[in-house]
Amino acid sequence: MRIPLSSPDITDREIDAVTRVLRTRQLSLGPKLVEFENAVAAYTGAAHAVAVNSGTSGLHLCMRALGISDGDEVIVPSFSFIAVANAVRFERAIPVFVDIDAETLNLDPARIEAAITPKTRAILAVHTFGYPADLTSIFNIARKHDLRVIEDACEAIGADYEGRKVGPLADAGVFAFYPNKQITTGEGGVIVTQNPQIAALARSQRNQGRTDPGEWLEHGEMGFNYRISDINCALGIEQLKRIETILTKREAVAREYRQRLRTNPDLKLPLHELPNGRISWFVYVVRLGERFTQKQRDWIWKEMGSRGIGCGRYFAPIHWQPAYKNFKGVRHALPNTEWSGTHSLALPFFNNLKPAEIDEVCATLQELMRSVPD
């Protein structure tokens, strides 16, 4: 694509940091792992940070750390990346799909309580596209029903909620650092928590259940190879040092899009500010108006691609995914999820997207909207 959907922002300083690790003898479970974990903990205000090889691995370990198991129910959005439901199913538990708020695209607290049953054990609150979920309402519901809360902050590092960084506000939270994220480690994620027991279990289980890393062939329990290398961590350390500059750049790109598209009555733009916090812009997702069908949205998506402009259909509802075709789990009416899933279009969005490129994206999108076939 001439204008890709996303593009990582890597500098010579980060390349040099990775190269220095490659010249050492310790590429995994080394000093850069500890340094990266400490940096993430300090930035987010978490007492503990446990780095893993992906956000999905982090979500899975959170399920295990909170004791989610066979037949338990966990409330999740269907308008999200599939990992939120898969992590529940990895432990043979049941994801209960609850609808999203039509404006924020996050779980709608007003619909959560109706989905709670005697089997409900937790709520997985996703900060969709970097917009913080309504944690106050979610925490109130969780306390009332004695539920645990996990923050899926994989798309939201740097976001603020009522003066505090998202992630460690719940029982546990997870960040992800795939190359399309605000900062990247190539592949990787971090669990953050204030609970030392959750952190200790996650540290052990990411490393094949070892309770003492010095005893390499001694395993206290069944675990996984969810380790992240010091190579990835070195990249993450340098990226995190630049995060405020990165977030400011992304905010500027979002403003440029809004300025160019706000007068189009057939586009629903993302909320551009948070009254009690800060958005961490992950992607810029517009929704086509009521007069457009899913087929027409898909036509626009394909035409944008044919002109060298990368776009994404974020998100196809999880309960419509082929992997969930025969899933017998619980779900409730999801009108906002299904409408958003058929009308959303993610536009190119990354730190160094140029104004001229934004001009071309917006002009092409609006031209195609005018000429969309019936």
Q: What is the pLDDT of residue 216?
A: 81
Q: How confident is the model at residue 212 (pLDDT cuts 50, 70, 90)?
A: confident
pTM (predicted TM-score): 0.97
CB contact at 8 A, 269 and 281? no
In the chain, where the domains are located = 12-241, 243-371
Same-fold call for 12-241 versus 243-371: no
Question: Element (H or E) spanning 73, and its range?
Answer: strand 73-77
Q: Tell me which architecture the domain covering 243-371 has in CATH.
A: Alpha-Beta Complex (3.90)
Is the domain spanning 12-241 CATH 3.40.640.10? The answer is: yes
Lowest mean pLDDT of 34-38, 301-305, 329-333, name the range. Answer: 329-333
CA 285/CA 129 separation, integer angstroms: 8
The strand pair at 267-268 and 284-288 is best described as antiparallel
Q: Is 181 a catalytic residue?
A: yes
Given 32, 165, 181, 249, the catalytic residue: 181
Residues 126-144: pLDDT tens digits? 999 999 999 999 999 999 9
Residues 42-83: pLDDT tens digits? 999 999 999 999 999 999 999 999 999 999 999 999 999 999
Stretch 298-317: mean pLDDT, rounded?
97
3-class secondary-structure state, position 359: helix
Q: What is the pLDDT of residue 191?
A: 99
